[in-house]
């Protein structure tokens, strides 16, 4: 923990959701800790929170699979939130880029 306290190494977190991502960024600012986070993949849901946190995000590029349905009429049984997540997942890295989130930097010390 000493390198993190001395700000020679960032704290790396994997938040469980966009609200936790936002709260972690607020706490890191209060404690004056350098922070980097693994993207939740749901930044498209609340871009207003991502824009304000200014924390480097590591963005995975694994996307959810297409919901499986046996029959064309079964599409009405697929949850709307699941469809939105599937539709927006490929766009999420671009959303983060447009918001101007910093990239995690390489440290040499």
| Contact of 34 with 13, CB cutoff 8 Å | no
Domain ranges of the chain: 2-99
Section 71-86 average pLDDT: 84
- Strands 35-38 vs 11-13: parallel, antiparallel or unpaired: parallel
CA distance 45 to 22: 12
**3-state secondary structure (DSSP) of residue 65:** coil
> pTM value?
0.73
Task: Kindly report, residue by residue over 4-54, the tens digit of the pLDDT.
Answer: 778 888 889 999 999 999 999 998 888 888 899 999 888 999 988 887 777
pLDDT digits (tens, 9 = 90+) for 29-43: 888 888 999 998 889
The whole-number pLDDT of residue 67 equals 81
- Residue 23's pLDDT is 92
Using alpha carbons only, what angle is made at residue 22 by residues 12 and 25, rounded to the nearest 5 degrees?
A: 45
Mean pLDDT of 69-82: 82
Q: pLDDT value at position 31?
A: 86
Q: Are 95 and 51 in contact (CB under 8 A)?
A: no
Across all residues in the chain, what is the average pLDDT?
84
Strand partners, 93: none
For 71-81, what is the mean pLDDT? Answer: 82
Q: Are 69 and 75 in contact (CB under 8 A)?
A: yes
């Amino acid at each position: 923990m000493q390198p993190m306290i001395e700000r020679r190494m960032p704290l790396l977190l994997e938040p469980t959701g966009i609200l936790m991502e936002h709260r972690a960024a607020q706490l890191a600012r209060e404690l004056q800790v350098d922070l980097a986070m693994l993207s939740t993949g749901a930044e498209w849901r609340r871009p207003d929170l991502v824009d304000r946190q200014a924390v480097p995000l590591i963005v995975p590029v694994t996307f959810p699979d297409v919901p499986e349905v046996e029959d064309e009429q079964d599409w009405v049984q697929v949850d709307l939130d699941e469809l939105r997540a599937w539709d927006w997942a490929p766009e999420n890295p671009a959303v983060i880029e447009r918001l101007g989130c910093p990239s995690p930097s390489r440290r040499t010390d």
